[in-house]
Protein backbone atom coordinates (compact mmCIF):
# COMPACT_ATOMS: atom_id res chain seq x y z
CA UNK A 1 0.00 0.00 0.00
CA UNK A 2 1.51 3.32 -1.09
CA UNK A 3 1.81 6.13 1.40
CA UNK A 4 0.00 9.29 0.32
CA UNK A 5 2.42 12.17 -0.23
CA UNK A 6 1.65 15.49 1.40
CA UNK A 7 1.09 18.47 -0.84
CA UNK A 8 4.03 20.59 -1.96
CA UNK A 9 1.76 23.64 -2.33
CA UNK A 10 3.59 26.76 -1.16
CA UNK A 11 6.75 24.80 -0.33
CA UNK A 12 9.85 26.73 -1.45
CA UNK A 13 12.57 24.49 -2.90
CA UNK A 14 16.00 25.47 -4.20
CA UNK A 15 17.31 22.97 -6.78
CA UNK A 16 21.06 23.10 -7.46
CA UNK A 17 22.54 21.03 -10.29
CA UNK A 18 25.17 21.89 -12.89
CA UNK A 19 23.37 19.79 -15.53
CA UNK A 20 20.67 22.10 -16.94
CA UNK A 21 18.51 19.23 -18.23
CA UNK A 22 18.36 17.59 -14.80
CA UNK A 23 17.75 20.89 -13.02
CA UNK A 24 14.96 21.89 -15.42
CA UNK A 25 13.29 18.47 -15.30
CA UNK A 26 13.22 18.48 -11.50
CA UNK A 27 12.03 22.09 -11.41
CA UNK A 28 9.24 21.43 -13.94
CA UNK A 29 8.04 18.33 -12.11
CA UNK A 30 8.07 19.92 -8.65
CA UNK A 31 6.34 23.04 -9.99
CA UNK A 32 3.61 20.78 -11.35
CA UNK A 33 3.21 19.48 -7.79
CA UNK A 34 2.60 23.00 -6.47
CA UNK A 35 6.07 23.82 -5.14
CA UNK A 36 7.76 27.19 -5.66
CA UNK A 37 11.04 26.32 -7.38
CA UNK A 38 14.25 28.32 -7.54
CA UNK A 39 16.76 26.65 -9.86
CA UNK A 40 20.51 27.24 -9.69
CA UNK A 41 23.27 25.91 -11.96
CA UNK A 42 26.05 25.98 -9.35
CA UNK A 43 26.76 26.35 -5.64
CA UNK A 44 27.27 30.12 -5.89
CA UNK A 45 23.82 30.64 -7.45
CA UNK A 46 22.37 28.11 -5.03
CA UNK A 47 23.62 30.01 -1.99
CA UNK A 48 22.33 33.27 -3.42
CA UNK A 49 18.90 31.67 -3.89
CA UNK A 50 18.94 30.25 -0.36
CA UNK A 51 19.74 33.67 1.10
CA UNK A 52 17.07 35.40 -0.99
CA UNK A 53 14.15 32.99 -0.61
CA UNK A 54 14.96 31.15 2.64
CA UNK A 55 13.56 27.87 1.27
CA UNK A 56 11.88 25.04 3.12
CA UNK A 57 14.33 22.55 1.59
CA UNK A 58 17.30 22.41 -0.81
CA UNK A 59 18.10 19.68 -3.35
CA UNK A 60 21.80 19.81 -4.20
CA UNK A 61 24.01 17.84 -6.53
CA UNK A 62 27.24 16.82 -4.79
CA UNK A 63 29.76 17.04 -7.65
CA UNK A 64 29.74 20.45 -9.30
CA UNK A 65 32.50 22.59 -10.78
CA UNK A 66 33.73 25.47 -8.65
CA UNK A 67 32.19 24.51 -5.31
CA UNK A 68 30.83 21.11 -4.38
CA UNK A 69 27.53 20.29 -2.76
CA UNK A 70 29.46 19.66 0.45
CA UNK A 71 30.80 23.23 0.40
CA UNK A 72 27.33 24.57 -0.39
CA UNK A 73 25.95 22.59 2.55
CA UNK A 74 28.47 24.24 4.91
CA UNK A 75 27.45 27.68 3.62
CA UNK A 76 23.75 26.86 4.06
CA UNK A 77 24.38 25.59 7.60
CA UNK A 78 26.15 28.88 8.46
CA UNK A 79 23.26 30.87 7.00
CA UNK A 80 20.68 28.67 8.78
CA UNK A 81 22.29 29.45 12.14
CA UNK A 82 21.78 33.17 11.49
CA UNK A 83 18.08 32.44 10.83
CA UNK A 84 17.74 30.35 13.96
CA UNK A 85 16.33 27.39 12.03
CA UNK A 86 17.63 24.49 9.99
CA UNK A 87 17.16 24.37 6.23
CA UNK A 88 17.21 20.69 5.30
CA UNK A 89 19.50 19.84 2.38
CA UNK A 90 19.07 16.68 0.31
CA UNK A 91 22.15 15.39 -1.51
CA UNK A 92 21.63 14.24 -5.09
CA UNK A 93 24.34 12.23 -6.80
CA UNK A 94 25.06 9.72 -9.53
CA UNK A 95 28.27 8.78 -7.70
CA UNK A 96 28.44 6.15 -5.03
CA UNK A 97 28.19 7.67 -1.58
CA UNK A 98 26.98 5.99 1.55
CA UNK A 99 24.02 7.63 3.23
CA UNK A 100 25.93 7.46 6.53
CA UNK A 101 28.71 9.59 4.99
CA UNK A 102 26.39 12.24 3.61
CA UNK A 103 24.41 12.25 6.87
CA UNK A 104 27.64 12.73 8.84
CA UNK A 105 28.41 15.74 6.64
CA UNK A 106 25.01 17.19 7.54
CA UNK A 107 22.77 16.28 4.60
CA UNK A 108 19.26 15.33 5.68
CA UNK A 109 18.93 12.58 3.07
CA UNK A 110 20.65 11.10 0.01
CA UNK A 111 18.88 10.74 -3.33
CA UNK A 112 20.78 8.60 -5.84
CA UNK A 113 20.47 9.45 -9.53
CA UNK A 114 18.68 8.32 -11.50
CA UNK A 115 15.59 8.52 -9.34
CA UNK A 116 11.89 8.32 -10.08
CA UNK A 117 9.34 11.05 -9.44
CA UNK A 118 7.91 8.90 -6.63
CA UNK A 119 11.36 8.57 -5.01
CA UNK A 120 11.84 12.35 -5.26
CA UNK A 121 8.45 13.05 -3.68
CA UNK A 122 9.00 10.49 -0.90
CA UNK A 123 12.43 11.93 -0.12
CA UNK A 124 11.10 15.48 0.00
CA UNK A 125 8.25 14.35 2.24
CA UNK A 126 10.70 12.75 4.66
CA UNK A 127 13.00 15.78 4.65
CA UNK A 128 10.15 18.16 5.32
CA UNK A 129 8.22 16.16 7.92
CA UNK A 130 10.65 13.98 9.90
Give tens-digit pLDDT for 53-75: 999 999 999 999 999 999 999 99
In angstroms, the CA 38 to CA 57 distance is 11
Count of C-beta atoms within a 10 Å radius of residue 91: 25
Among candidates 18, 31, 10, which has minimal Cα distance to 60? 18
Q: Which CATH superfamily is domain 12-129 in?
A: Response regulator (3.40.50.2300)
Spatial neighbors of 78 by CB under 8 A, at least 6 apart, are none
User: What are the extents of the domains in the chain?
Assistant: 12-129
Is residue 62 within 8 Å of residue 74, measured between CB atoms? Answer: no
pLDDT digits (tens, 9 = 90+) for 16-28: 999 999 999 999 9
Amino acid sequence: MAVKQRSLANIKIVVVDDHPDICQAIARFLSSQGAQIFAAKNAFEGLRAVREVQPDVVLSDLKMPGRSGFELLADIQDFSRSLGRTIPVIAMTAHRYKEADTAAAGFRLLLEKPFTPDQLLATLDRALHE
